[in-house]
Amino acid sequence: MLDEQCIFCKIIAGEIPSKKVYEDDWMCVFADVEPKAKVHLLAVPKSHFKLLSEATDDQMEIISYMLTKIPRIARENGCENGYRLIINQGEDAGQTVFHLHIHILGGEPLGDL
C-alpha cells in the first residue's frame, strides 16, 4: 500500500515530520511545507496512487470520501470564509509529488488563479 520512495507515504507513516491536522483510516491532512496561502493544507489518501487519471473505482471512492470530509476540516482550520481545492494532474499542472493529493487553500481572499 505504501511506496518506499514516496515522500507523502513517509509523512503518513510518521517517518518525515509534518503538522497533521486530521487523520482517519483512509486519509490524512497536513500543512504544506511551502504554503501558497495563509492556510495551505494537503489532503492525501493513505493508500498510495499517483494520478487522478489513473484512479480505480475503489480509489475514486476514497477521493469522494475525502471530499465529504474536507468542508469540516477546512472550516476547523481557518477557512470559514471559503477555500479553494486543487488537484494538480501531471506535468503541465506542475505536479511534483506523485501521490494523489488535494490542496486546500484559504484563510484569506485568494484572488484569481
| 110 contacts ligand 5GP (rule: CB under 6 A) | no
| 77 contacts ligand 5GP (rule: CB under 6 A) | no
**Among residues 13, 16, 60, 67, the one that binds ligand 5GP under rule CB under 6 A:** 16
Contact 38, 47 (CB under 8 A): no
| C-alpha–C-alpha distance, residues 82 and 91, integer Å | 28
**Among residues 5, 64, 68, 96, the one that binds ligand 5GP under rule CB under 6 A:** 96
**Among residues 99, 100, 104, 105, the one that binds Zn ion under rule CB under 5 A:** 99
| C-alpha–C-alpha distance, residues 44 and 103, integer Å | 9
Which residue is it, cell 494532474? 89
